[in-house]
Chain A
Amino acid sequence: MSGDHIHPEPTSFLRKYIFSTDHKVIAKQFMWLGFVWLMVGGTMAMMIRWQLAYPGKPFPLLGNILYPRSGGVIPPDGYNTLFTMHGTIMIFLGLTPLLIGAFGNFCIPLMIGARDMIFPTLNMLSFWTVVIGAGVAFYSLFVPLGAAEGGWTAYPTLSSNVGTPGHGETLWAIAVFFIGASSIMGGINYITTVVRLRAPGMTWGRLPLTIWGLLFTAALNVLFLPVIGSAMILMVLDRQFGTSFYVPATMAQGGGGDPILYQHLFWIFGHPEVYILILPAWGIISDILSFFARKPAFAYKVTVGAMAAVTVLSAVVYGHHMFVTGMTAMLGESFMLLTMIISVPGEILFFNWLHTLWRGNLRFTTPMLFSMGVIFVFGLGGLTGIYLATISTDIYLHDTYFVVGHFHLTMAASSLFGAFAGTYFWFPKMFGKMLSERLGKLHFWATIIPLTIVFCTMFFSGYGGMPRRYYDHTDNPYTNELQWLNVITSVAAFVLGTAQLIFAWNVIKTVAVGRQAAQNPWEVGTLEWTVPSPPPHHNFDTLPLVTTGPHEFSNPAIKDGRDWIYQTEPLAT
């Protein structure tokens, strides 16, 4: 191998920690960015839940600072801003940086046996582009008339100047554009790195499943983020330059635009985005389940194929978000059929995960618990998707809390659990310190129980007919009858939110005074565990020669009493 990807270890603070091109530093930058924004987005969720359970009561502690004019009560426009920014922040600034930015950057070079990303400067630019996007989003919270209020989907004409005057919505579109650009840069880097920089012997069949998940996500990022970027350009032109691409002739002079066009563009991106978030989590847990079941990942090739099938199908099912906007019956039924078909690869992944655990030797570490948590919450969320894929039941359930419960379980909770599993698993490698397992397990149970209550209660409110994005469900008699469910959801949500402090405490304490991690504390064989914790600047002193697959656990050919083997060790035959 040539040494052309070696760059000298930087010495200045600025080059080492701020404008670093080292994938491990960039991974940590993405991770902290993700954690900070998850906290902001989570606080917003708490405020939303407060208003829903106790409408018109001042929000404790923060209320008087944020809403002094209403005496601490969240006003209706403030509420709309809250759920809009909660969605945007959680998806684009919380989960994306964490799952794709942090684990993508950290795992790809280390797990394929490379010294860094193939384009380190592009990698750095990718992080700082997302910082620009985050900055714009943050700034938009303080402009007159407030930040975006059109929901994270920002349907025109509500998101046009008619529906939301002021600069909040424009800044929102610009922020999404920058964040999208960052993901595209990352995607180009990830794909090229995996294709070109695999260590000798790291064949496609020996790639850890984490890398496969990240690779498919990168492909979706590269293909579909440009679509939302263009949709945002049209929106900004409409808002700032007086065009009317999304504004129909009935509303504007010289008009003749089409608000439904935006919905198509948005969901062409928006549905793959769901898989952009979940595929890395699937990849991570497919590996972790095998690692801690001490058993090979069941049907590796089938798992990869199922993820590939989901990736391809994700591009052609987006219409199920628009069953009630007024599409033709033909189109609606086609999208319903395609959506049903995408459940097949999903089922196959479940079989493989369950089969991996079957007759294993299960070690219930925190990463393992969170991975099994993904099976549980994704099972709940995925199965309830059938109600929404079916048009005749979706008509009633569309835009109710049923949908909120469904996508939080699938996209939000599953991805978050995957991210937690990854964090507990790779933290010792990233920081050289072990997170407390005791606190980790407490965190798991304190998260999964209230989380299940929160989103399952939402299924009931949605089934009862409670529309989402209402400021106050007590305002009309119909939803007022369901208000008691809101209270239960909110109380569980507060417990869920508080439980995350355990995690924050665990991370802070470990970084400050945690005990030194061993090189391979989990006894697994992938390449990142062949180097010290944390790895040196160039990861590998000599590039590894890979001889074995990632999941050769309990292989009878291993004779020295271990039940695992490094990917660099040959299996005795």
Chain B
Amino acid sequence: MEQKFVAYKCKSCGKVMKPKHDRCLKCKATEFEEFELPKEGKLVTYTKLYALPAGIEMPPLTLGIAEFGSAKALGQILTDNPKIGMKVKPVWGKLRVLNGKDIFGFRFEAVE
């Protein structure tokens, strides 16, 4: 099954949130519409992490925050030469191991 890269829009006031909250951050309503974000985003900031937490191997781990239309998301960056403003797209993959289990989610790849 294809994974969807989504955000949540408040049905009452239209505020977009990612991740999901139990009440709207703006108007406190509780109904949201899940919608797909654009497939292309722009890198806002990033870091190359050399001191890794338990559960992740092989430094450096590049992490960044990217803006996809009306919402931003944080993720692992799959390029060696990240730059602020570069175009990225979300791709599904393994993020880390937690309690012996593989955890999957979206990572960001450079758009050629």
**A joins B in a complex:** no
